[in-house]
Amino acid sequence: MVKTKILVTLGPSICDYDVIRKLVEEGVSGFRINYTQSDRKTWDEWFKIIREVSTSLDKTVSIIGDIPGPQIRIGDFEQYSVNPRDRVLLVYGDKTSDRNTIPVPIKKFFETVEIGDIILLDDGKVILRVIDCDQSANTVEALVLNSATILPRKKIVISGKDIELPLLSNRDIELIKYSIDRGVNYIAISFVRRAEDISSVRRIIDNYGGFQGIIAKIETRSSVYELDSIVRESDAVLIARGDLGLHFDLEKIPLIQREIAKKSIEYSKPCILATQLLESMIHYPRPSRSEVVDIMNAVNDMVDALLLTSETAIGKYPVEAVKWLKKIIEVSENNISYDSINSFRNRIKYVDLRDKHALGLLLLSERIGAKIVIFTKTGFLPSHISRIRPQVDVYVGSNNKIVAEKLTIYYGLKPFYLSNLEGEIDYDTGVAKLYEYLKKRNELKYGEVVVEAYSRKEAGIYEIRIKQVV
CATH code of the domain occupying 340-468:
3.40.1380.20
* Whole-number Å distance between alpha carbons of 382 and 378: 9
Whether residue 110 contacts residue 135, with contact meaning beta carbons closer than 8 Å, is answered with yes
Identify the bridge partners of residue 216 per DSSP, sorted by sequence position: 189, 237
pTM over 0.75: yes
At CA 221, angle to CA 220 and CA 223, rounded to 5?
65
pLDDT tens digit string along 304-339?
999 999 999 999 999 999 999 999 999 999 999 989
Whether residue 212 contacts residue 205, with contact meaning beta carbons closer than 8 Å, is answered with yes
* Whole-number Å distance between alpha carbons of 245 and 133: 25
Q: DSSP states of 11-55 as a string? A: SGGG-SHHHHHHHHHTTEEEEEEETTSS-HHHHHHHHHHHHHHHH
| 8-state DSSP, 224 | H
Residue type, 57: L
* C-beta neighbour count of 365 within 10 angstroms: 25
pLDDT the model gives residue 457: 65
3-state helix vs strand vs coil in the chain, percent to 5: 40, 25, 35
Whether residue 111 contacts residue 130, with contact meaning beta carbons closer than 8 Å, is answered with no
Q: Which stretches in the chain have pLDDT values below 50?
A: none
CA neighbours within 13 Å on the CB side: how many for 172? Answer: 18
- Determine whether domain 5-69+170-335 maps to CATH 3.40.50.300: no
Q: Domain residues of the chain, as ranges? A: 5-69+170-335, 80-158, 340-468
| 8-state DSSP, 280 | G
pLDDT the model gives residue 338: 87
Strand 139-144 versus strand 62-67 pairing type: unpaired
* Whole-number Å distance between alpha carbons of 107 and 98: 20
* Whole-number Å distance between alpha carbons of 396 and 380: 11
Where do the H-state alpha helices sit in 282-400?
Answer: 289-300, 310-313, 318-334, 338-346, 353-368, 380-387
Residue type, 194: R
Q: How far is CA 34 from CA 232, 261, 282, 308, in A?
A: 25, 23, 17, 12
Whether residue 165 contacts residue 121, with contact meaning beta carbons closer than 8 Å, is answered with no
pLDDT the model gives residue 7: 98
* Whole-number Å distance between alpha carbons of 98 and 84: 20
CATH code of the domain occupying 80-158:
2.40.33.10
Whether residue 244 contacts residue 253, with contact meaning beta carbons closer than 8 Å, is answered with yes
Three-state DSSP at 93 gives: coil
pLDDT tens digit string along 332-384?
999 999 899 998 999 888 888 888 999 999 999 999 999 999 999 999 899 99
* Whole-number Å distance between alpha carbons of 372 and 357: 13
Residue type, 323: K
pLDDT the model gives residue 373: 96
